[in-house]
Amino acid sequence: MKRPRQHPVKKTARSLYKAMKSFTSIDIEALKIDPFEAIGQDWMLITAKKGDQVNTMTASWGGMGVLWNRRAAFIFVKEARFTKTFIDAADHFSLCFFRKQYQDKLEYLGSVSGRDENKIKNVGFTLCEDQGVPFFLEADTVLVCKKLSQHPLLPEGFIDSSILPTWYMDGCGYHSLYVGEIEKVLLESM
């Protein structure tokens, strides 16, 4: 049987971009990021791996600072989120930050569940790993975080009584606060 002739694969602009793009590890002291803008306005993806599966979610709540003499990131994930099971199973998670051109994809990733569909594939993001920690090639900044602690937020802990009816009457449960030590900062480089 004669094999069909194979044609060379044409390089698209996107595949050329992906082939050229790489990341450089920088010292965390060199990181210049405004968390109010990067998290609160532009959003981030929280990504973790469980076994050989990866899931991600869009987040607009979180922060960065120093805790226990470690440079840390703080994320909040509701009990009902599928990504929470991945974070709970993993030792590490990543926080990915993107340029504004990806805002519609981040909105989509925050509006559908990985329980119901392969949302990473649906947005066309390219999954990468740094020592087993998943992140996305399309990001411009990646924080690789080692999970240090997890703290469930409980109703009795809220001092401002206006928070509960505003944020927790949807039946999806409360958030858990995760503290992750920022072990590596990756910046895109061409």
Each residue's pLDDT tens digit, 107-118: 999 998 989 999
Cα dihedral 23, 150, 54, 172 sign: negative
Q: Are 152 and 174 in contact (CB under 8 A)?
A: yes
Mean pLDDT of the chain: 88
Q: How confident is the model at residue 99 (pLDDT cuts 50, 70, 90)?
A: very high
pLDDT at 190 (0 to 100): 63
For residues 58 and 51, give the distance between their C-alpha atoms in angstroms, rounded to a whole number: 21
90: number of Cβ within 10 Å: 20
Q: Which position has the higher pLDDT, 13 or 78?
A: 78
Q: Which position has the higher pLDDT, 21 or 130?
A: 130
Distances (CA, A) of 115 to 70, 94, 100, 119, 188: 34, 20, 27, 9, 30
